[in-house]
Amino acid sequence: MKSETFLFSPSYARRRVRIHGVEHLRATRDRGGLLAFLHVGSFFLSGGALVHQLGLSYTAVASRHNLRFTPGNESDFWLGVHQRSEALYGAPMFYTDESARKSLAWLEGNGFLGLAIDVRENGIRNKEARFSFLGQDIYLHTGPGRLARISGRPMLPMTILFDARERLHHLHIGEPVRAATPNDCIQQTLDQMAPLVEVSRDQLFHNLFGIFSTPHTID
């Protein structure tokens, strides 16, 4: 995934990604929504396919806080990934250290917003809750669910997986979730993701069941 970011282009996003569940996007197209994802597969490429195959207005929220704690070369690489992704989306990305009003304004403008739900930032305490995923308890921040409630937009599960035989990425969009509470919204989203991730655990970007098995603590 990391090296593939140097290949990002509109034609690459059209040729190398097959989108499943387009009908779920069509159902919410006029009002936009939150596309929630786990760090699985080539997750930055997902938005490029939505923009260049379906003509959606898409950008994503990213974290640059933890880059302060990574070696210089690694930090520079991820900043470059953000820049290449912005070029692919044709829109600036938003960051967790910025006001959430930017994300809210994007949603109120009927755009689609990508949000990772498996994120922790060193030294920052975000509100978390316990969720069930593939038979295990994990603790995730509840911000995406709260943003869905505040904006009045649905949350749609988004999972991209690579098929090495086809040399093709499969982007799966789940059914829109409109739950009573932010936590229910996230749990129902995870429930839709689970069957896809279960057969592709080797494409998890980090140790999901290690990092998130206990609540986040700040020393």
- pLDDT score of 137: 98
* Token code pair at residue 133: 């995923």
Q: Give 115-164 pLDDT, tens digit per residue.
A: 999 999 888 878 999 999 999 999 999 999 999 999 999 999 999 999 99
Residue spans of alpha helices (H) in 16-168: 22-28, 43-54, 72-89, 101-108, 143-151
Question: How many other C-beta atoms are found inside a 10 Å radius of the C-beta of residue 2?
Answer: 11
- pLDDT score of 91: 97
All structural domains of the chain with their residue ranges: 3-211
Contact call for residues 112 and 35 (beta carbons, < 8 A): yes
CA distance 167 to 157: 23
Q: Give 157-188 pLDDT, tens digit per residue.
A: 999 999 999 999 999 999 999 998 999 999 99
Contact call for residues 78 and 103 (beta carbons, < 8 A): no
Place of tokens 């970007």: 205
Average pLDDT (62-89) is 89
Whether pLDDT at 219 is above 70: no
Average pLDDT (3-27) is 96
- pLDDT score of 148: 96
Q: Give 56-74 pLDDT, tens digit per residue.
A: 999 999 988 877 777 778 8
Contact call for residues 28 and 157 (beta carbons, < 8 A): no
Could you tell me which residue, 216 or 87, shows the higher pLDDT?
87
Phi, psi of 96 (to 5 degrees): -65, -20
